[in-house]
Amino acid sequence: MIALPPRLRALALGWGAVGVAYTLSSLLQGPGTMLAESALDRLVPFDPRGVWLYLSFFALIPYAYLRADAARVPWLMRAMQFGALVSGIVFVLFPTTLHYPPVDGASLSAAALRLLAAGDSAQNCLPSLHAALTCLAARALVDARRPWRSALVVLWSAAITYSIVQTRRHLALDISAGVLVALVCGMLAARLPAFSRRTI
């Protein structure tokens, strides 16, 4: 058996837990409650071109595991595991869905968004794991010793969060719940002595 480098192992255990929770909850949940758009959601026009920012999330997460300060990587792994557990429970007990606008057009962006929607769950909306994990990754990367990188990470994370609503994969309520999950699970992970002191 090949042993993964510590950072890749943390990535597999942290992000992998999210994939397990997301998939299992989709199999166990019943029909979802329809969430209505709020006035805040309507301020963000639906635009398939936001899919590229949305998909950049899949670069942000591994980047966080590979480039964050070594002392923060165990925290990030554990916070994601807690986030997966909490979100998975909510997905099963209170499944939610929303009205997904039709994606018309022959543009590459529209095709990418249709492909994304085809492979994603129509439920598992609240809380937004996309938002929760983005917040956790940003927190792991923001470092006073690296101000330029920190500023770019904050802007990148904000752009991803905007794109979540822009592509109507989630609503503002889902994002708010995802941010709350990130805050609670991040604080919980930081309070675990075995992981708050451990480094990679």
The DSSP code sequence of 140-188 is: HH--TT-HHHHHHHHHHHHHHHHHHHHTTSS-HHHHHHHHHHHHHHHHH
Looking at this protein, which amino acid is placed at residue 144? Answer: A
Q: What angle do CA 124, 126, 129 make, to 5 degrees?
A: 75
Give the 3-state secondary structure of residue 45.
coil
Confidence tier at 192 by pLDDT (50, 70, 90): confident
Name the band, by pLDDT with cuts 50, 70 and 90, for residue 196: very low
What residues does 34 pair with on adjacent strands? 97
Q: What is the mean pLDDT of the chain?
A: 94
Q: Which two tokens stand for residue 36?
A: 């209505």
Q: Rounded distance, CA 14 to CA 26, Å?
A: 19
Can you tell me the distance from the alpha carbon of 114 to that of 96, in angstroms, rounded to the nearest whole number?
20
pLDDT score of 55: 98
Span 137-181, pLDDT tens digits: 999 999 999 999 999 999 999 999 999 999 999 999 999 999 999
Residue 119 buriedness (CB in 10 A; 0-12 / 13-18 / 19+): exposed
Judge whether residue 68 has pLDDT over 50.
yes
| Spatial contact of 76 and 68, defined as CB atoms under 8 Å apart | yes
CB of 169 within 8 A of CB of 133? Answer: no
Contacts of 179 (CB under 8 A, 6+ apart): 131, 132, 135
What are the strands, taking DSSP E only, across the chain?
Answer: 33-35, 96-98
- Angle at 127 (CA atoms; ends 41, 107), nearest 5 degrees: 50
pLDDT 10s digits, 25-42: 999 999 999 999 999 999
- Check pLDDT > 50 for residue 1: no
Question: Has residue 193 got a pLDDT over 80?
Answer: no
Which residues fall within 8 angstroms of residue 27, CB to CB, at 6 or more apart?
Answer: none
DSSP-assigned letter for residue 124:
-
Q: Tell me the CB-side half-sphere exposure of residue 15, using CA atoms within 13 A.
A: 21
Side-chain-side CA neighbours of 150 within 13 Å: the count stands at 9
